């Protein structure tokens, strides 16, 4: 299939219901028939294949290519969707406006990575010290691990100096990466120009599924099965769209050497964070996880 998938999802999908085909009018009051018709319409999204994002890859960015694992990746949960029809998609999905293809906004990538730092959600006074310490220790253990320090291209001499302390160092790295702070200026707040700050680009698919029944594809269906108040009730599956497992996502960063970490070191740190925590919605039930 060809065409703008985002346009198909948010416009064409309901054009079939309310447009000339008059599916809703024809099947009004026929719940079972509506369910069957929706299954056919939903399945169309799983037929798209071999669509690449080469035109969206930044040649001057530092890519991190990771592959989705089961059950896949879900992005766009905050987008409203649905008109109260039987069998329709129950949740929104995020598509690039121009290409119509799934993507992860750079702001979401930046937010997901920063959330692992001690002040990742902002300077919240309500955050307890233990919580901050856990995040500090996580980042500190990552950048002082033997595997990390074995590559001298990842860090500067300042990271391994005797004066380097976990709380101060991690906090300074966070300010430098996410706020563009010049941490060499101790007496006053100074910030880098936009041209010297680290940039988080949108993430796009670079390869579709390479083998198996879904070879060449990148979108699939999944279902929520709510039981409501009665745990013994046979639930009605509610469909939603997802990126299939086995799809390669290119995370793109435009990075600069910092006071403690080089551009290569930052990229390696970001990769480890994405592998450990994933990204997107429903990560608590396994979505949005990656492998190398």
pLDDT of residue 127: 47
Where along the chain do its domains lie? 5-105+197-261+274-291, 113-196
pLDDT of residue 95: 94
pLDDT of residue 228: 66
By the 8 A CB rule, do 106 and 201 touch? Answer: yes
pLDDT of residue 277: 96
pLDDT of residue 271: 97
pTM of the predicted model as reported, rounded to 2 decimal places: 0.89
- Can you tell me the distance from the alpha carbon of 40 to that of 270, in angstroms, rounded to the nearest whole number? 40
Give DSSP secondary structure letters for 166-203: HHHHHHHHHHHHHH-B-TT--SS--B--GGGS-EEPPE
Nearest alpha-carbon partner for 6 in 96, 139, 112, 113 = 96
Nearest alpha-carbon partner for 95 in 207, 10, 12, 17 = 10
Environment class of 155 (CB within 10 Å of its CB; exposed 0-12, middle 13-18, buried 19+): buried
pLDDT of residue 124: 43
pLDDT truncated to tens, each residue of the chain (292 aa)? 668 999 999 888 888 777 777 777 777 778 888 888 888 889 999 999 876 554 455 556 678 999 999 999 999 877 777 777 788 888 899 999 888 999 999 999 999 999 999 986 445 444 456 778 899 999 999 999 999 999 999 999 999 987 778 988 999 999 999 999 999 887 788 999 999 999 999 999 999 999 999 999 999 999 987 766 776 677 778 899 999 999 999 999 999 999 999 999 999 999 999 999 999 988 988 999 999 9
By the 8 A CB rule, do 71 and 286 touch? Answer: yes
pLDDT of residue 58: 55
pLDDT of residue 77: 79
What pairing do the DSSP bridges indicate for beta strands 238-243 and 203-207? unpaired
pLDDT of residue 44: 92
């Amino acid at each position: 299939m060809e065409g703008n998938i985002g346009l198909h999802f948010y416009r064409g999908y309901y054009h079939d219901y309310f447009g000339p085909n008059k599916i809703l009018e024809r099947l009004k009051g026929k719940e079972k028939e509506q369910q069957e018709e929706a299954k056919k319409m939903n399945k169309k999204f799983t037929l798209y294949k071999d669509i690449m994002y080469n035109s969206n890859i930044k040649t001057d960015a530092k890519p991190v290519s990771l592959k989705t694992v089961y059950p896949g990746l879900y992005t766009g949960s905050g987008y409203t969707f649905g008109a109260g029809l039987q069998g329709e998609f129950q949740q929104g999905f995020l598509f690039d406006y121009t290409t119509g293809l799934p993507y992860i906004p750079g702001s979401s990538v930046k937010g997901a990575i920063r959330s692992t730092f001690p002040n990742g959600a902002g300077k919240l006074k309500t955050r307890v010290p233990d919580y901050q310490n856990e995040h500090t220790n996580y980042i500190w253990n990552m950048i002082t691990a033997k595997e990390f320090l074995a590559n001298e291209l990842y860090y500067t001499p300042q990271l391994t100096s005797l004066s380097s302390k976990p709380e101060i160092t991690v906090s300074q790295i966070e300010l430098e990466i996410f706020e563009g702070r010049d941490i060499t200026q101790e007496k006053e707040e100074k910030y880098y120009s936009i041209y010297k700050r680290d940039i988080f680009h949108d993430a796009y698919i670079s390869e579709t599924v390479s083998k198996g029944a879904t070879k060449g594809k990148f979108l699939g269906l999944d279902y929520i099965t709510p039981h409501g108040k009665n745990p013994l009730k046979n639930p009605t599956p509610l469909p939603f769209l997802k990126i299939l497992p086995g799809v390669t996502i290119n995370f793109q960063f435009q990075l600069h050497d910092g006071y403690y970490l080089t551009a290569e070191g930052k990229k390696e740190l970001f990769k480890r964070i994405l592998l450990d925590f994933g990204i997107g919605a429903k990560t608590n039930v396994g979505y949005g996880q990656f492998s190398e």
